[in-house]
């Protein structure tokens, strides 16, 4: 069964850092692009960042560029999102999602999400 399990969320103060992880199973992780998508409380979906499969090119939304870093460890089947200089507006549920091929496209599998709260 294809599965994505996020972890690492929590409460952090403004200006702080957090690293999210997404453990993947049930598919050849290195062959697929992956993304992080977030959803602020009561709001819609916002694509945050993506990374290609084996080649590893990365992409970011303007709202997080320069503060967030996406990476992957294909040997551990794990996706990461390092979040620095966090702001109140980064408060959201963060979902990990698998794309349908090695480049970002539509997202066919989603994790259940991990909650990040930025507050003093």
* Count of alpha carbons within 13 angstroms of residue 34, beta-carbon side: 32
Please identify which residue in 102, 113, 115, 117 interacts with other proteins, judged by CB under 8 A: 113
Judged by CB under 8 A, the chain residues 10 through 29 that form the site for other proteins are none
Query: Per-residue string for binding with other proteins, 82-101, x by CB under 8 A?
Result: -------------x----x-
CB 76 within 8 A of CB 22: no
DSSP 42-61: T--EEEEEEE-SSS--EEE-
Kindly write out the interface string for residues 31-70 of this chain, putting x where it contacts other proteins by CB under 8 A and - elsewhere: ----x-x------xxxx--x--------xxxx--------
Q: Are strands 10-12 and 114-118 parallel, antiparallel or unpaired?
A: parallel
> Where on the chain is the footprint of other proteins (CB under 8 A)?
35, 37, 44-47, 50, 59-62, 95, 100, 104-108, 110-113
């Amino acid at each position: 069964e294809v599965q994505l399990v996020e972890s690492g969320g929590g409460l952090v103060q403004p200006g702080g850092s957090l690293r999210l992880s997404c453990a993947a199973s049930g598919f050849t992780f290195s062959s697929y692009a992956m993304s992080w998508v977030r959803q602020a409380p009561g709001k819609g979906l916002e694509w945050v960042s993506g990374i290609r499969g084996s080649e590893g090119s990365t992409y970011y939304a303007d709202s997080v560029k320069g503060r967030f870093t996406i990476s992957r460890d294909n040997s551990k089947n794990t996706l990461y999102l390092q979040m620095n200089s966090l702001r109140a507006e980064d408060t959201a549920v963060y979902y990990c999602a698998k794309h349908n091929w090695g480049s970002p496209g539509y997202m066919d599998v989603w994790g259940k999400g991990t909650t990040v709260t930025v507050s003093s």
